[in-house]
Amino acid sequence: MRYFRWIVVILAVAVTVLRIVLYIAKSDIDVGPTISFKDNVDTFEVKCEDNLDDLLKYVSAYDPQDGKIEDVTIEKQYFLNDNKSRVTFVAIDSDNNITKATAKVVYTDYDGPKISMNSPCIYFVNDDSKTDISFSAYDKLGGGGDNNPEKGDISNRIKLIVDNGFKRRVSGVYPARAKVSNYYGTTREVNFNIYVFPRPFKETVELSEYIIYCSKGERPDFYKYIKSSSVNIGDITVDENYGNAPFDANTPGCYEVIYRVGEKNNETAFNRIVVVVGD
């Protein structure tokens, strides 16, 4: 009888040990799939128009039980600042174990939000027909953060600052700046002047754009922005030295280039384009 009791005890211990071993083995197996990046690179360079799903070809997942996992998806994208974001990849095995891994995405052609001037901000003391100061702003990464360019309108985030106030009935030059930040903290600021002249000009020069952007070292063809004029294009002078800071394509900053007919300070037509030279 004593031996029987010992046999029962030994069997009970053996069963308990077996259960523990099986539990540990199962735990080791069911830790979930392992996610790895091609060549162990966890930073990807893309262009703004690229589809993030294309990154999946550089991501693989393996599970000890299931082998290669085909169900790898992008869970979310979190923008950091400037041209960088973090993307979270998710893999799920047949037991619904979930593994996540993150990688950095760098948008190589992203250069920040762009501000557009919808009118030249040139006014006349006795002319009430031009009273608007209108801007719009666009972010090609998508203002809402989902990398959809169609949702990149961030015009409602523009702030207009006139340094010393703007007196609509007093002729003069009023320094101002338009500033906008996208939803990820990347900021664009454009400096320009608001002009108020005593009376309208005899001639007109209309432009297709009032703010343009160019890379460092790039010299725009300023004449191509002339939309229409009441004079021959040969009579229009493009003055790159009109303001306090002459246009310099090699130095980042904001510059004003003037379109005029006639001599400086005695023009019969006047318009202006703001040139933003990037880094």
**Long-range Cβ pairs for the range 227-230 (8 Å, 24+):** 228/204, 229/203, 229/204, 229/205, 229/269, 230/203, 230/204, 230/205, 230/269
Q: Give residue limits of the domains in the chain.
A: 34-107, 114-277
Tens digits of per-residue pLDDT, 77-112? 877 777 888 889 998 888 888 889 899 989 888 888
Position with higher pLDDT, 147 vs 226: 226
Q: In this predicted structure, what is the pLDDT of residue 182?
A: 83
Burial of 25: CB neighbours in 10 Å, binned 0-12, 13-18, 19+: exposed
- On the question of a common fold for 34-107 and 114-277, the answer reads yes
Alpha carbons within 13 A on the beta-carbon side of 170: 6
Closest Cα partner for 239 from 207, 263, 218? 263
d(CA 47, CA 149): 12
Burial of 270: CB neighbours in 10 Å, binned 0-12, 13-18, 19+: buried
Among the ranges given (2-6, 112-116, 126-130, 200-204), the one the predictor scored with the smallest mean pLDDT: 2-6
Position with higher pLDDT, 203 vs 169: 203
Q: In this predicted structure, what is the pLDDT of residue 16?
A: 58
Q: In this predicted structure, what is the pLDDT of residue 8?
A: 46
Strand runs (DSSP E) across the chain, as ranges?
Answer: 34-37, 43-46, 59-63, 67-68, 72-81, 84-92, 98-107, 114-117, 122-124, 135-138, 159-162, 172-181, 187-197, 205-207, 211-214, 226-229, 237-239, 253-261, 269-277
Position with higher pLDDT, 22 vs 104: 104
Domain 34-107: assigned CATH number = 2.60.40.10
* Residue type present at position 154: I
**Long-range Cβ pairs for the range 253-256 (8 Å, 24+):** 253/277, 254/190, 254/191, 254/192, 256/192, 256/193
Q: Is the C-alpha dihedral spanning 17, 21, 22, 24 positive or negative?
A: positive
Among the ranges given (5-9, 38-42, 141-145, 210-214), the one the predictor scored with the smallest mean pLDDT: 5-9
pLDDT, mean over the chain: 83
d(CA 49, CA 88): 19
Could you tell me the pLDDT band of residue 159, with boundaries at 50, 70 and 90? very high
Tens digits of per-residue pLDDT, 128-146? 766 667 899 998 876 544 4
Is pLDDT at 224 greater than 50 in this prediction?
yes
Closest Cα partner for 117 from 161, 182, 178? 178
Q: In this predicted structure, what is the pLDDT of residue 10?
A: 58
Fold for the domain defined by 114-277? Immunoglobulin-like (2.60.40)
Give Cβ neighbours of residue 43 (< 8 Å, ≥ 6 apart). 103, 104, 105, 106
d(CA 88, CA 99): 10
Is pLDDT at 219 greater than 90 in this prediction?
yes
Residue 202: how many CB atoms within 10 A of its CB? Answer: 12
State the distance between the two ends of the chain, measured CA to CA, in whole angstroms. 92
Among the ranges given (115-119, 142-146, 243-247, 273-277), the one the predictor scored with the smallest mean pLDDT: 142-146
